[in-house]
Structure 1
Amino acid sequence: MLENRRYIIQGFFVFIGLVFLVKLFALQIVNDTYSRQAESNTRQRIVEYPFRGLIYDRNDKLIVYNEPIYDLMVIPKDIQVTDTTSFCNLFEITKEDFEKNVLNARKYSYVKPSTFLKKISHEKYAQIQDQLYKFRGFYVNPRTVRRYSKPLLANELGYIGEVDQDFLDKDTTNSYKPGDYLGITGLEESYEDLLRGKRGVSYKLVNVSGIVKGAYKGGSNDTASIPGKNLISTIDLPLQEYAEKLLDGKRGSVVAIEPSSGEILVMASAPTYDPNLLTGKNLGDNFNKIKVDTTAPLFNRPIMARYPPGSIFKTVQALIALDKGVTTVDEKIKVNLTNIGDHAPAGIYDVKKGIRYSSNNYFYEVMRRVVLRGKGSNLFTDSAIGMDEWSEAVKKFGFGNVLGIDIPGEVPGNVPNTATYDKMHGKGRWAYSGVKSLSIGQGELLVTPLQVANLGAIIANRGHYIKPHLIKGIKENGKIEEFEYEKVYTGDHTEYYPEIIEGMAQAAKQTAPRAIINDIEIIGKTGTAENGKKDETLDHSVFMAFAPRENPKIAIAVYVENSGMGGRAAGMTASLIIEKYLRGYIKKNWWKREEYVLKGDFID
């Protein structure tokens, strides 16, 4: 009996042992949950953020680059901070901030890492890296922020910012995760897909103190990040710097284009700001200050400001009339001063003389012929039909629509048509005589500085333009993969452009003598854009030009607000930029153009 009991007890213990063996086998071999949990206590998952693509100027000068920063990450379950005061002093935060950030991290996840502090500078990290081992549960994740080699091109380059939850909810591509950055405005936004790169991930072995001891499994599970593409811009950085210097302290803009390619050499807006302010941990505070600045530095005048074109638009009126055959370059038209106010004398005018003297009444007659073609049964229907034909012809020159420049924010300006005046006056209740101010670039007609510079390129090219753009292509392995841009023709004929150009050359000498450069011929046209404000006495100074006459290298539009005559502020600014680009330096002359423009007193 006793012998049987002994066997029963032995069998029971054997059975229990077998149960434990089976359970251990299941836990360790069949089910790896516990082994994975054990591994997770010794490994650390680190997101490898890609280097964002760089941006260069047309001559391979670096404009935008990356600077290292660090995010302090935390895993709540691993936190061991015995001296909170030392921690707060090291990271320059308050105890309230410490407790709040820990609470936020726990709300996000008790076991997953999240950001405790963002954008620790490279200099600050150098001071704290030797102290991190004291605070278990914390580690740093390297990142980069954008930096700018010069305080230029703020609105054109744009800035990057962290994605928010609203963006993530709408991101159908699933390309972004919390903590990622993306382009918010400018080129950063337009070329986000090329610049951003692709994130990777690495796994590190850590000891009980959270100190990294090496790669987990020799890095076999790691995926490398892929850097973004580097872009070559069309900007001439020294010329851009010079243009912004000339605009300093003023309100206005400069747009310069290479006519043969549509490449934008300069796009300057004033007032402006240093793009380095919108990077790093102070981005939010700096943005709020810039946003409420009453000088509106975020307003990108070259593509957002709308002005009446004034007298520069007379070149377009002439080109449309010649293209439609309602006049010829040789036709002499007798002009009196009864139809519209004028500063040019009465007399006999052809196209070239009309542009040279900027005769309002000559262009009144030119546009009247375009609009009143006898296609309607009466004066009112004839005006309505002709107005729509005129409007469509103007739009072929890039007005009234966006040109499609490769940064966001471009506005179309305004080219009125029959519907515009039907709404204003009633259908059949207006005629050409009521909209005659359009003939001299006033009235409801509005253009942007970019469109005016593009007009200069059209005339320089004798009848076509390449869509203006700021990025030439991708720079990869020392080579440039250039993008292709559309060529647009503005009319059916081109044989009359030499007369238009000669008229502009004579006009520049007559109306902008201070802008003349003896050995560089400037083909230009001055203008005055009405400011529309009764409390400001001076209108806006406008100058459109290109140079040289043959094989033009630069077309330009300059707007200087509230500075009066186009031949002074705008004309002299344009001539300085043209000379700087074509010659490489500014010759001294008796006008002292550079000193005059920098001083900014354009009444003298």
Structure 2
Amino acid sequence: MRKVLLPTIIFIATILLVIRLFYLQVIDDTLKLKSDNNAIKINYDYPERGYIYDRNGNLLVANQPSYDIMVIPKDVKEIDTSEFCTLLKITKEDFLKKIAKAKVYSPRLPSVFLSQLNKKEYAAFQEIERKFAGFYIQKRSLRDYQVPCGANVFGFITQVNDKIISKNKYYNSGDLIGRQGVEESYEEILRGIKGVKYIQKDKYNREIGSYKEGRFDTIAVQGKDINLTLDAELQKYGEELMINKRGGIVAIEPKTGEILALVTAPSYDPAILVGRQRSKNYTMLYHDSIAKPLYDRGLLAQYPPGSPFKILTGLVALQVKAIDENTSIICNHGFSFAPGRFMRCHCHGGVIQLHRGIYESCNTFFSTSYMRTLDKFSDPSVGVDVWSKHLKTFGLGEFMGYDLPTGRKGNIPTSKTYNKVYKGWRWSSKTIVSNAIGQGEVLMTPMQLANMMATVANRGFYFTPHIVRKIKGQIIDKKFTTKHKTTINRRYFETMISGLFDVYNFGTAHGLNVDGIDICGKTGTAENFTKVDGKRVQLKDHSIFVAFAPKDNPKIAIAILVENGGFGATIAGPIASLMIEKYIKHKITRKDLETRILAKDLQPEYNRFISKPIRDTLINTKVTIKEKAVVTIKDTSGIKKRTALKP
């Protein structure tokens, strides 16, 4: 057996090797194609990117033609550099830099020399292209935005860099790729597949026809169209309401998890990141360290959720039977939880039960409920872990899995958090009672707040929020149609919703109601601290509001956070009412609220702690993009050029 085995292995290996060599040399011409590369010119045919529509079929993002001048360095010979530079309005120094950069990429392969020419520039160059050996025109398509809103949702397209090219062989120098937003998340779907044509050249470098009669040529496949879950009118309206404010708005359809609006403020017109000025404008946005227009506050900003978190405090307390619907707690306009430590309360005081505790937002009731929750267990470490596990079934303290490329998971503390913070010290429910009212170590993003309200609206379940509703010829990921159930009994949600409904009738949002719509909501005011010259300074509170409507068969759940906005009912609450009415009625009857919010300018508040030299320059700055975007600042006192919002 052993005598036969070795010769058999050698025989089989030899046969396989011969077959492989025959295939490579006779059947497969790809290696020959590579070896003949010097005599073959490769032309790419770039497809149009897929169009982007909103949930109602309105076109949001289309395409427009663009033209790049490509260069193959080894083919550039004896051209009139002066004429070339004059035609394209560049300096000779720029010409030499671009040629040198192209040579670094590859002397033999094409790379972009000058990108995104308009039709007039293209026509002028095309007339005398023959005079400039080594240069040719590559047609591409750029985005054409049909709306001035949604920049943070769409993202933008830009040229690939060397790092991307080295990692993904699909891309070549000068190719475009989606960055941020939907353009990045759905890049492979939107970009399509570029076509390739191989052109044979003779020894004089003249084109003589298709290589191998076009056997290896491929045709371009256009990118697939997608429909977003976004309501374009609601998105536009939300951005208008947030002019001269900072913060985020997230609206979700509870029964599907579809994102109806995703607003970050300040924002910018997506059209400024298209064309020859794209790089300049992006640099300006990127270096705005004051207003941060590229920072998506709806997904990335982590805030103390404030009083809306009392909804969860109450639900968990009900679930572990630390309280029931009839539990009564006496509130003396605040909660004394340790010697010298007093938590003020703005409710009317007296005997408080859950229902009234919700609509009057009683700190005493929910602080007591939180402590009773943790004290139900033998050790506060066990209690806080039980509390944490219930909260995480709402999608808190973790990345939510939505189809956008950025986000943060917030923070829901556990026993590990406090065992580390209070190492060597004995801690109890009183030590961490500020968690009860959404302060302490609890952090949530506006997206998580909106999803929390969608879960409450659904009486205990949610669908992973997502921004794409339909892809042409394709089914969306099933994870977006999978129901996630919380660990809270459904009947407790009904109890909580009753209190949330009366927030508008008798409570902290009284006066924000909309005729004909039953809204359930919760105001919130979160403390806000920052460091100025190394010292911890308390700023004006953040204004927070969460809501859903209608009470029965809800169609929209929403969360609004306005930085430095003050009480929840002052700014965030009216915005919630207006957004809800806009979506459900498609019109606004609360013109009083609309006028007040559109006129509200928080820029003086934001500018309070900007250094004096920069603040002084804000007075006479020139708007270079649009009113709600950023403006250029040139500080004459020696501080580097930077940008900030128009005051």
- Please report the TM-score for the alignment, with normalisation by the length of structure 1: 0.85
What residue identity is the alignment partner of 1:313? F
| 1:25 corresponds to | none
Per-residue deviation, residues 347-385 of structure 1 (Å, max 9, x unmatched): 333221111111111112211221001x42xxxxx2121
Deviates more, 1:40-49 or 1:547-556: 40-49
Deviates more, 1:238-247 or 1:499-508: 499-508
What residue identity is the alignment partner of 2:186? Y
| 1:324 corresponds to | 320
Shift of 1:182: 2.0
| 1:547 corresponds to | 549
Change (3 A) 1:587 1:346: closer
Shift of 1:516: 1.0
Q: After the TM superposition, which segments of 4 or more aligned residues of structure 1 sit over 6 Å from their partners?
A: 39-43, 205-218
Q: Does residue 365 in structure 1 map to residue 368 in structure 2?
A: yes
Rg larger for: 1
Q: Does residue 577 in structure 1 map to residue 579 in structure 2?
A: yes
Per-residue deviation, residues 453-479 of structure 1 (Å, max 9, x unmatched): 111101110111111111113124xxx
| 2:261 corresponds to | 266
| Aligned-pair Cα RMSD in Å | 2.9
| 1:560 corresponds to | 562
What residue identity is the alignment partner of 2:595? E
| 2:252 corresponds to | 257
What residue identity is the alignment partner of 2:43? I
User: What pairs up with 1:391-410 in 2 under 5 angstroms?
Assistant: 391-410=388-407
Change (3 A) 1:315 1:102: closer
Change (3 A) 1:363 1:128: same
> Quick one: which of 580, 585, 588 aligns to 1:586?
588
> Quick one: which of 480, 483, 486 aligns to 1:487?
483
Q: Does residue 147 in structure 1 map to residue 144 in structure 2?
A: yes
Change (3 A) 1:221 1:521: same
Per-residue deviation, residues 462-513 of structure 1 (Å, max 9, x unmatched): 111111111113124xxx7344313211124101222211111111232123
Q: Does residue 521 in structure 1 map to residue 521 in structure 2?
A: no
> Quick one: which of 347, 351, 354 aligns to 2:350?
347
Seq. identity, %: 41
Change (3 A) 1:41 1:416: closer
What residue identity is the alignment partner of 1:310? G
| 1:225 corresponds to | 220
3-state SS of the aligned residue for 1:432? coil
Following the alignment from structure 2 to structure 1, what is the Cα–Cα distance between the partners of residues 588 and 280?
Answer: 40
Following the alignment from structure 2 to structure 1, what is the Cα–Cα distance between the partners of residues 146 and 322?
Answer: 53
Is contact 1:514-1:567 (8 Å) kept? no
Q: Does residue 299 in structure 1 map to residue 295 in structure 2?
A: yes
3-state SS of the aligned residue for 1:146? strand
Following the alignment from structure 2 to structure 1, what is the Cα–Cα distance between the partners of residues 206 and 244?
Answer: 54
Is contact 2:116-2:276 (8 Å) kept? yes
Per-residue deviation, residues 426-467 of structure 1 (Å, max 9, x unmatched): 255111111111111111111111111111101110111111
Is contact 1:138-1:210 (8 Å) kept? no
How many residues are aligned here? Answer: 556
| 1:56 corresponds to | 53
Change (3 A) 1:156 1:240: same
Is contact 2:65-2:139 (8 Å) kept? yes
> Quick one: which of 440, 445, 461 aligns to 1:443?
440
User: What pairs up with 1:74-89 in 2 under 5 angstroms?
Assistant: 74-76=71-73, 78-79=75-76, 83-89=80-86
| Unpaired stretches in structure 1, ≥5 consecutive residues | 1-31, 377-381
Change (3 A) 1:425 1:454: same
Is contact 1:329-1:352 (8 Å) kept? yes
Shift of 1:314: 0.8
Per-residue deviation, residues 176-210 of structure 1 (Å, max 9, x unmatched): 33332222322222222222222221246899999
What residue identity is the alignment partner of 2:547? A
| 1:432 corresponds to | 429
Following the alignment from structure 2 to structure 1, what is the Cα–Cα distance between the partners of residues 356 and 392?
Answer: 25
Shift of 1:233: 0.9
Per-residue deviation, residues 533-557 of structure 1 (Å, max 9, x unmatched): 4656420111100011111010000
Following the alignment from structure 2 to structure 1, what is the Cα–Cα distance between the partners of residues 463 and 259?
Answer: 11
What residue identity is the alignment partner of 1:454? N
| 1:598 corresponds to | 598
Following the alignment from structure 1 to structure 2, what is the Cα–Cα distance between the partners of residues 427 and 385?
Answer: 18
Deviates more, 1:461-470 or 1:387-396: 387-396
| 1:24 corresponds to | none
Shift of 1:144: 1.8
3-state SS of the aligned residue for 2:475? strand
Shift of 1:283: 2.8
Following the alignment from structure 2 to structure 1, what is the Cα–Cα distance between the partners of residues 71 and 176?
Answer: 20
What residue identity is the alignment partner of 1:349? I
Is contact 2:347-2:360 (8 Å) kept? yes
Following the alignment from structure 2 to structure 1, what is the Cα–Cα distance between the partners of residues 113 and 205?
Answer: 16
3-state SS of the aligned residue for 1:472? strand
Per-residue deviation, residues 156-189 of structure 1 (Å, max 9, x unmatched): 2222222222233334xx3333332222322222
Following the alignment from structure 2 to structure 1, what is the Cα–Cα distance between the partners of residues 143 and 270?
Answer: 9
Change (3 A) 1:522 1:211: farther
Per-residue deviation, residues 122-179 of structure 1 (Å, max 9, x unmatched): 34213332222333332211112223222222222222222222233334xx333333
Following the alignment from structure 1 to structure 2, what is the Cα–Cα distance between the partners of residues 434 and 40?
Answer: 72
| 2:276 corresponds to | 281
What residue identity is the alignment partner of 2:392? K
Following the alignment from structure 1 to structure 2, what is the Cα–Cα distance between the partners of residues 492 and 244?
Answer: 35
What residue identity is the alignment partner of 1:315? I
| Unpaired stretches in structure 2, ≥5 consecutive residues | 1-28, 337-342, 531-535, 605-647
Following the alignment from structure 2 to structure 1, what is the Cα–Cα distance between the partners of residues 68 and 204?
Answer: 19
Is contact 1:449-1:557 (8 Å) kept? yes
Following the alignment from structure 2 to structure 1, what is the Cα–Cα distance between the partners of residues 320 and 344?
Answer: 26
Deviates more, 1:443-452 or 1:496-505: 496-505
> Quick one: which of 304, 307, 324 aligns to 1:308?
304
Deviates more, 1:78-87 or 1:502-511: 78-87
Following the alignment from structure 2 to structure 1, what is the Cα–Cα distance between the partners of residues 396 and 439?
Answer: 14
User: What pairs up with 1:100-111 in 2 under 5 angstroms?
Assistant: 100-105=97-102, 111=108
| 2:533 corresponds to | none
Deviates more, 1:503-512 or 1:452-461: 503-512
Following the alignment from structure 1 to structure 2, what is the Cα–Cα distance between the partners of residues 110 and 219?
Answer: 25
Shift of 1:517: 0.7
Change (3 A) 1:367 1:112: closer
Following the alignment from structure 1 to structure 2, what is the Cα–Cα distance between the partners of residues 411 and 100?
Answer: 40
3-state SS of the aligned residue for 1:152? coil
3-state SS of the aligned residue for 1:531? strand
Following the alignment from structure 2 to structure 1, what is the Cα–Cα distance between the partners of residues 442 and 96?
Answer: 60
Following the alignment from structure 1 to structure 2, what is the Cα–Cα distance between the partners of residues 213 and 267?
Answer: 54
Shift of 1:302: 0.6
Q: Does residue 157 in structure 1 map to residue 157 in structure 2?
A: no
| 1:202 corresponds to | 197
Is contact 2:239-2:263 (8 Å) kept? yes
Is contact 1:536-1:562 (8 Å) kept? no
Is contact 2:285-2:294 (8 Å) kept? yes
Following the alignment from structure 1 to structure 2, what is the Cα–Cα distance between the partners of residues 600 and 282?
Answer: 32
> Quick one: which of 42, 47, 56 aligns to 2:44?
47
Following the alignment from structure 1 to structure 2, what is the Cα–Cα distance between the partners of residues 91 and 208?
Answer: 31
Is contact 1:66-1:147 (8 Å) kept? yes
Following the alignment from structure 2 to structure 1, what is the Cα–Cα distance between the partners of residues 335 and 326?
Answer: 24
Following the alignment from structure 1 to structure 2, what is the Cα–Cα distance between the partners of residues 562 and 267?
Answer: 20
Deviates more, 1:569-578 or 1:193-202: 193-202
Following the alignment from structure 1 to structure 2, what is the Cα–Cα distance between the partners of residues 141 and 396?
Answer: 52
